[in-house]
Amino acid sequence: MTPGEADPLHVHDLTVAYRDKRVLEDVDLTIPAGRLVAIIGPNGAGKSTLLRAVLDLVPRVSGTVEIFRRRYREQRRLVAYVPQRNSVDWEFPTDALDVVMMGRYGTLGWLRRPGRSERDAAMRALEQVGMAAYAGRQISQLSGGQQQRVFLARALAQNAQIYLMDEPFAGVDAVTERAIVDLLSALRSEGKTVVCVHHDLDSAPYYFDWAVLLNVRIIAAGPFSEVFTPENVTRTYGGSLSSFGRLVRGMSAAVG
């Protein structure tokens, strides 16, 4: 695979290790523009680490990451990040609007303070996820799903081209799930690229159009209909799923 003219994300020969254990090995990955991509794999497969390595948050043993054919560090503004919801302490003394405004801090840069335009951008982002009514709500008073939507709004406020999301569907209510699905298709229709770590094999083919099957190494990557085969899933999970047979059957039915 060679990076095409406008490939938003290109990962080459990426290896990441925590102490002596390799969590990602020789990862080569090219994601085309305008796709909704699910990264799928068992626990410990390195899914979150792949996102974090792209964002330069973990040291790499080897490898390069290119965003639209240039190094990530030069293209930071084009990449938005939605960390796992439980990665922060929601008891922090602030409200939803303030958290969403943090999405503008990168563009503001050092020392400059957020003002009216950052506020307006944050309000628009909250509206997009159906959370405008909660702008002034203390963040610990929000439900898990609402907190997730605040995080999504913060990424929207970054106004990026690529959105990297770490398990946005984890433990959310039906309203939030609907809101995220709508948001993903809205982003796709704007030509943006979304890469999500996703745990649920059942829903994956319905929400996403591209799959990356990962277990330390890339097992397969491509359109769902091509790569989401029982053989590939078996190779990815290595029989570690208890309800495995049922899943594989359901999956074949879903992809058709």
Partner 1 sequence: MIFSDLLFDYTLRNVALGSALLGIVSGVLGSFAVLRKQGLLGDALSHAALPGICLAFLLTGTRAILVLLLGAAITGWIGALLLIRIVRDTRIDEDAALGIVLSTFFGFGIVLLTFISKRNDANQAGLDRYLFGQAAALREENVVTMAILGAVALCVVFLFYKEFKLATFDPEFAASLGFATGRLNVLLTSLIVIAVVIGLQTVGVVLMAAMLVGPAVAARQWTDRLGVMLLLSSFFGATAGVAGAMVSVTQARLPTGPMVILSLTLIVVVSILFAPRHGLIVDRVRRWRLAGARS
Pattern 27-56, partner 1, x by CB under 8 A:
-------------------------x--xx
The residues with which 210 forms a beta bridge, in sequence order, are 37, 223
114 makes contact with partner 1 (CB under 8 A): yes
Record the tokens describing residue 206, joined without a space.
Answer: 């319905």
138 makes contact with partner 1 (CB under 8 A): yes
Record the tokens describing residue 38, joined without a space.
Answer: 């699910």
85 makes contact with partner 1 (CB under 8 A): no
15 makes contact with partner 1 (CB under 8 A): no
Which residue, 84 or 234, is less far from partner 1 as judged by CB? Answer: 84
Which residue, 163 or 237, is less far from partner 1 as judged by CB? Answer: 163
CA pair distance 33, 148, nearest whole angstrom: 25
25 makes contact with partner 1 (CB under 8 A): no
The one among 110, 239, 242, 243 contacting partner 1 by CB under 8 A = 110
Residue the block writes with tokens 């090995």: 25
CA pair distance 127, 123, nearest whole angstrom: 6
Q: Is the dihedral of CA 256, 231, 9, 101 positive or negative?
A: positive
For residue 246, count CB atoms less than 10 angstroms from its CB and return exposed for 0-12, middle for 13-18, buried for 19 or more.
exposed
Q: Is the dihedral of CA 127, 129, 130, 135 positive or negative?
A: negative
Pattern 144-183, partner 1, x by CB under 8 A:
----------x-----------------------------
The one among 105, 127, 177, 241 contacting partner 1 by CB under 8 A = 105
The one among 14, 37, 79, 100 contacting partner 1 by CB under 8 A = 79
Record the tokens describing residue 195, joined without a space.
Answer: 């890469």
The one among 83, 145, 168, 205 contacting partner 1 by CB under 8 A = 83
Under rule CB under 8 A, which residues in 214-253 are in contact with partner 1? none
The residues with which 165 forms a beta bridge, in sequence order, are 82, 196
Answer for the pair 242, 254: CB distance below 8 angstroms, yes or no: no
Binding residues (CB under 8 A) for partner 1: these are 52, 55-57, 73, 76, 79, 81, 83, 87-89, 92-95, 99, 102, 105-106, 108, 110-114, 138, 140, 154
